[in-house]
Structure 1
Amino acid sequence: MRGMEPLAERLRPRSLDEVLGQPHLTGPQGLLRRMLEAKRLSSMVLFGPPGTGKTTLAQILAEGVGKPFLRLSAVEAGVKEVRAVVERARREGGLVLFLDEVHRFNRTQQDALLPHLESGLLTLIGATAENPAFELTPALRSRLRFFPLKPLQEADLLALLRRALEDPRGLPGTPYEEEALRLLARAAEGDARFALNTLELAASFGRVDLKSVREALGAERFGMDREGDRFYDLVSALHKSLRGSHVDAALYYLARLLKGGADPRYLARRLIRVALEDVGLADPLALRLTVAAKEAYEALGSPEGELALVEATVYLALAPKSHSLYAAWKRAEEAARAHPEAPVPLNLRNAPTGLARALGHGEGYAYYHEDKEGSFAQRYLPEGLEGLLLFQAQGEGWEERVRARLAQLRARFQGGSEGPPPDR
C-alpha cells in the first residue's frame, strides 16, 4: 500500500533534475545526464556513502533508456540468480541489472556476468559503499565505469526536508520550525534516507520542532537534554576531549551519548573522523582500529558492541596527535581551485597510443626503481607550481620519524628540476 511506504521511498526522485547533491554526475555537463541524452547506457558502479541516491539513479537511468529494471542484492544472489536474470534478459531483449552491494560477489559470480556484459544483453549498475577497486576482478573492472557519489551537503538536505514538507507525496501541511530542520540536516551527515525517515518519525508527534526532532534522533532519552545540553554539544565535547587527549572526559561524553540514545553507528563514524582529522600520521593504526570498531559494533550490536567504541575512544585519546593530513588536504584543494587547468608535465603523462607517444607523452620519465637519481631530477609539478609545499609534518608520534625523511626528499627535489620554492 502506498500509505505504508516510508517517506524516503515516496519521495524518491523521478528525474535527474530532482536528484540533489550530485551535480558532477547529474548537472548539465554530468556524465550520467549525457548518457541519458544520448540514450546510451554503459555498465557502471555507483559508489558512495549510504543515502546518496545510488538506487534512485539506477532506476532513473534504466527508465531513461527504456530498458526493464531488475534489482538484486549481491548478499543474497548467486550464480543461479544470475542465470535467471540472463534468461529473462533474453526474453525481453536486454535489461538493466541493479546489483546492490556488488563488492560482495565472489570471483565465480563476477565471471558469470562477463559474457553478458560483453554482448550487451545485460547492462550492470552496481552499487556499493566500499571502494570497488579492491573487490572486483580486473576482468569485470575493465567493463565498467566508476562514478563516485558524494554525501549530501547540509544545504542539499535542508532543501530535501523542505520539499518533503511541501510535496503532496510527502508530509504537506505539517507545521515545522526551520531550526529543527537545520538540526536534522546536520545530524543526517549527508544521508538523505536517514534524514527523511527521521523527519517522518518527528512529524508523527504532530509538529516538526526541536523537541520532536530530538525525540526522533533519540537525543532526549535518559535526560540527555535535562540540563539544556544539545546533542551536538555533547558530540563536540567528545571530539574536543579526544583531540585534547583527555581520556576520562572522552569516556564520560561517550557514555552520556550512548545512554542518551545516540546512534552508536553515528558515534563510530565520528571516531573514524577523529582518527583522520586529529591523529592522522601521528599514529596510522588509529584509522584501522576505529574502522574495526565500527565493524565490530555492526557485528555485535548493543550492548556488547559498545565496548568496541570504548576501546577506540581510549585509543584515540591516548594516541599522539597531528592534523597535518587535514591541513595539507585543505591546502591541496585550494591549490587545485587556484590552478584547475595546470598542464601535467609531459614526462608524467600516460602514453597508451602511438599518437600520445608522438606527442611526447611519457618521454624522459625516470622509473624510480631503476634510476633513483633521475627520478628525483625530473619534474613532477606543473609549470608555475614548482616548489609547492602542501604537506608539513608537524605532529607527534610516528610523524616525528618521517619529518627528517620529508626534509631529505624535499632537498633532493629542490636540487633537481623542481627548483627552489617560490615565495609564499
Structure 2
Amino acid sequence: MEPDLFTAAAEERQEKDPAASPLAVRMRPRTLDEVVGQQHLLKPGSPLRRLVGEGNGGPAGPSSVILWGPPGTGKTTLAYVVSKATDKRFVELSAITAGVKEVRAVIDGARRATGGFGKETVLFLDEIHRFSKAQQDSLLPAVENRWVTLIAATTENPYFSVISPLLSRSLLLTLEPLTDDDVRGLLRRALADERGLAGAVTLPEDTESHLLRIAGGDARRALTALEAAAGAALDKGETEIGLTTLEETVDRAAVKYDRDGDQHYDVASALIKSIRGSDVDAALHYLARMIEAGEDPRFIARRLMISASEDIGLADPNALPIAVAAAQAVAMIGFPEAALTLSHATIALALAPKSNSATTAIGAAMADVRAGLAGPVPPHLRDGHYKGAAKLGHAQGYVYPHDLPEGIAAQQYAPDALKGREYYTPTRHGAEARYADAVEWTRKHLRRKQP
C-alpha cells in the first residue's frame, strides 16, 4: 500500500474517534484561513491562494511547490491544506526513508488514480534536501507532465540543496519561524476546540509561558507537550495544568528567564562576563539557560562575536574566526543542532587567553577624535593620482615601504596634532606577545629619522 498519511479510511477513523489521533494531527488546519502564522504567504491573491483555486481564474502558476523553513512552521500542514482545498489525494514520503523506487511507485499510483478515477494527487516529499541529485532527477517527469502536484519541504537553503531544473519549475515559498503569539493562539485554540481538548483543562499563565519556551516556535512540539501535560493533569484528577505537571511531563525544569525583561539581559551579561573571566563551566551554564529559555541563537552568536574582539582580541587571533564561523553555522542550521555550535564557540572563547587591548585602543583613538584632535593629513600621504596633485605637493616625498630592506619607512603618518600619540598597549598574553614585540620594534624604527 502507498504511504498515504491521510487516506479516506484514516480520515473516517479520525472523524469517528478524534482522540485516536495525536493532538497535533487533530488540530491540523483544514483551510488556509486556519493556518497559524505565515501571513506573508496567505494574503488575498498570493501565489499560495491561487494554487488552491482562490481568486479569479482558478489555480495558476507552477504545480510544484518547495516549502523552505525551520521545523514546526507548518510545511506538512500547508501541503495537506492544498490537497484538501483542491480535493486531491495526499501522499507523503520522507526523503530519509524513501528512494527512487518509492517515488516511482507513488507516481505510477497517481497516474492510475488520475486515469481511473479522475483523482489527482499531491505528493508531499519531506526533507527533499536529503535526496541525491539522481533521486531528485527522478521527480522531473512527474512535475513536467503534472502527474502529481509536488510539494517538497526542506529546512536547508534550496538554492544549495535542490537541483536547478526542479527549482526552476517550482514555486518557492519561504516559511518564517512562528512567533510566541502565533504558538500561544494555537495552544488556546487547542484547549477550547472540540477537535482538541474541548475545555477539559486550563493553562495558567506561568505554565503557558514555559510551554512557549519549550516549543521554541515549533507548533508541533508545543501541541505534543500540551497533550502530554493535559493527560498527566487529568490522570491526577486536575483540570488545571500546573507548572510542576508540565515540567514532570516534558522532563525539563522551568528556566527563570524572561526574554523581554531583566533576566534576558542579566543572563546574557553573565555569559559574557563568565567568558571574560575564563570560567568555562559558568559560561556553559548561562549558555544552557539561554538555550533552554528559547533565546534566539543568532542573538547568542552575535554576543560571542563581540566577546571575541572585546575580551580576547590579539591574544588569540583565532577567536574571532571561530565566533564568526559559529554565527554562520547557527544561521544555517538553527536549533537544536545549533546548541552544539554555540557550545563549541563558548568553550573556545572562555579558555582563550584574554586581552582587551583592541577595545581600549579604539576607545582612546575615538576619544581624541571626539575631542577635536585630528588635523590635516600630512601632504606626503595625500592622494597623488589626479592631475595637479604634484603642484599642490600631495604625495611628494612619500617613501614606499616595500622599497626598503626592512619594509618600514621612517616617516610621519599621523597628523601633526597626534604626532607620537600611542593608542595600542599590547599585553603579553597568548599570541599577543608577538604583537607586543612587533609594536615595540616598529615604533622604534618609525621614529628613528623623523624630524
TM range (shorter): 0.5 to 0.7
TM-score by length of 2: 0.59
Which blocks of at least 5 consecutive residues in structure 2 are unaligned? 1-16, 115-119, 310-319, 359-451
Instruction: Give the alignment partner of residue 270 of structure 2, picking from 237, 241, 258.
Output: 241
Residues in 2 aligned to 1:214 and 1:111: alpha-carbon distance in whole angstroms: 46
Aligned 8 A contact 2:215 2:221 in 1:
yes
Distance 1:188 1:69, change over 3 A: same
Match of 2:130 among 93, 104, 109: 104
Equivalent in 4, 9, 28 of residue 12 of structure 1: 28
Q: How many Å separate the matches in 1 of 2:121 and 2:212?
A: 36
* 1:316 Cα deviation after fit: 4.9
Letter in 2 for 1:13: P
Is it true that 1:208 corresponds to 2:241 in the alignment?
Answer: yes
TM-score, normalisation: structure 1: 0.62
Q: Counterparts of 1:45-64 in structure 2 under 5 Å?
A: 45-64=66-85
Paired position in structure 1 for 2:141:
115
Distance in 1, matches of 2:286 and 2:153, equals 36
Counterpart secondary structure, 1:251 = helix
Q: Which secondary structure state, in structure 1, belongs to the residue aligned with residue 125 of structure 2?
A: strand
Deviation, structure 1 residue 155: 1.2
The 1-side partners of 2:300 and 2:81 are apart by 37
Q: In the TM superposition, what is the alpha-carbon distance from 1:306 to its structure 2 partner?
A: 8.7
Letter aligned with residue 74 of structure 1: A
1:176 is aligned, of 176, 192, 203, to: 203
Q: Name the structure 1 match of 2:281.
A: 251
1:39 matched to 2:59? The reply is yes
2:176 paired residue number: 150
Change (3 A) 1:287 1:49: farther
Contact 1:8–1:196 (Cα < 8 Å) also in 2: yes
Equivalent of 1:71 in 92, 95, 117: 92
After superposing the two structures, state which structure 1 stretch, 138-147 or 200-209, moved more. Answer: 200-209
Distance 1:5 1:162 in 2: 19
Correspondence list, 1:274-423, <5 A: 274-276=300-302, 279=305, 283-289=320-326, 310-317=343-350
Change beyond 3 A, Cα 1:80–1:269: farther
- Given that residues 216 and 294 in structure 2 are in contact (C-alpha distance below 8 angstroms), is that contact kept between their aligned partners in structure 1? no
Q: Which runs of 5+ in 1 are unaligned?
A: 300-304, 323-424
Identity of aligned residues (%): 40
Distance in 1 (alpha carbons) for counterparts of 2:100 and 2:67 = 22
- The within-5 A match list for 1:193-232 is 193-203=220-230, 204-205=232-233, 206=238, 207-220=240-253, 229=256
Give the number of the structure whose alpha-carbon radius of gyration is greater.
2
Q: Could you tell which deviates more after superposition, 144-153 or 177-186?
A: 177-186
CA distance in 2, matches of 1:7, 1:270: 27
Shift of 1:250: 6.1
Q: Distance in 2 between matches of 1:250 and 1:31?
A: 50
Kindly tell me the number of residue pairs found equivalent between the two proteins. Answer: 307
For the aligned residues, what is the CA RMSD? 3.7
C-alpha deviation, 1:115, in angstroms: 1.7
CA contact (8 A) 1:241 1:250 kept: no
